[in-house]
Structure 1
Amino acid sequence: MLKNFKKGVWPSFVLWLGIGFLTMVSYNVLATPSNPPAVDNTVQTVYNTGLEPQATAPTEAPDPKTLEGDIFKQKGCVQCHSVSFYNIQGGATGPDLSFAYSDAPKRFGKSLEEFLEKPEGTMGDLLPQLTTAEERKQILHLLSEAAEVKAE
């Protein structure tokens, strides 16, 4: 069958294939939005890291100290961390946050406040996505209280 093509047909055939390929590529480029809508990836990030929302079982008389530290449950910290000062049991993957005030300088060479502003390691990916600046201030206050230090 290819022998039946005349000499002038091959360049036209190749040109036709090239135009078809360029048309397909151009369509894909033009059909892709240059400014895709903003997507909140917080939930996806939480699930990609294996974190899951915490179910809270109702208790008869909640401990006021535990209620004060509820932000640690709400933000998923308890997936990896306990906060013994607030009677919050959590995962054992990360250290007990009750000691974070004195632990951060040893581990990261900066104060807890500096660490919460610019976290490193795993927390560098999670903390900014899961908390606002105001919530990190609240966390600093709570962890300072756990260390019996006055937060500035």
Structure 2
Amino acid sequence: MKNPIIQFILCAIIGLGLGYVVFDVVLADGGNNKEVASSAETAKSTTKATKEEQKTTKTEDIATASGEENILQSKGCIGCHAVKGLNLDGGATGPDLSQAYNNVEGKHGKPIQEFLKEPTSAVMSSVIGGNPLTDDEIAQIVEQLKKASEAK
């Protein structure tokens, strides 16, 4: 009887600890804390890690080929969103941002620049509220999303 209870308690502690690391440490840092993310990834299979490295290399090659750092990666947007228009595979939590440049105003009632300053969605408000974007970062993001919307 005690053994399953102990196992449950240990699993709960490990799960809460991992949740804290992912959501509080990694996401509060805007996804830039690669040491924590890489230590969490070591628990995954070797095959999956190899695929992630290939995706990262591919997206870094795209950013390098265009001659500019991809702001969507550096600000952590790709953690939740994909941008197929820029060949950026990302998280599936949020919607694909390939048409965000064209659709944000109709969906949220304000231009994309204003939405990135003060998001109207609850999720984005909490994400951006914890790590506000500068005007320069907003301009870079809008430019990337414009390129994504034009790619077909």
TM-score (norm 1): 0.54
> C-alpha distance in 1, partners of 2:113/2:133?
14
The match for 1:109 is 109
> Which 5+ residue runs of structure 1 have no aligned equivalent?
1-43
The match for 1:135 is 137
The match for 2:23 is 47
Q: Deviations over 1:56-98 (max 9, x none)?
A: 8373892325x74621111111111001122110011111111
Structure 2 matches for 1:6-25, cutoff 5 A? none
Q: Which has the higher helix share?
A: 2
Q: Percent identity?
A: 36
The match for 1:79 is 79
- C-alpha change, 1:111 and 1:130, in structure 2 (3 Å) is closer
Q: Which deviates more from structure 2 when the two are superposed, residues 47-56 or residues 70-79? A: 47-56
Q: Which deviates more from structure 2 when the two are superposed, residues 100-109 or residues 48-57? A: 48-57
Q: Which has the larger radius of gyration?
A: 1
> C-alpha distance in 2, partners of 1:146/1:70?
12
1:72 touches 1:78 (CA, 8 Å); kept in 2?
yes
TM-score (norm 2): 0.54
> C-alpha distance in 2, partners of 1:139/1:87?
15
> C-alpha distance in 2, partners of 1:48/1:141?
29
The match for 2:146 is 144
Structure 2 matches for 1:91-110, cutoff 5 A? 91-110=91-110
> Which 5+ residue runs of structure 2 have no aligned equivalent?
1-19, 39-51
Number of positions where the alignment pairs a residue of Structure 1 with one of Structure 2: 104
Alpha-carbon RMSD: 3.3
> C-alpha distance in 1, partners of 2:69/2:138?
13
AA at the equivalent of 2:144: L
Shift, 1:146, TM fit: 1.9
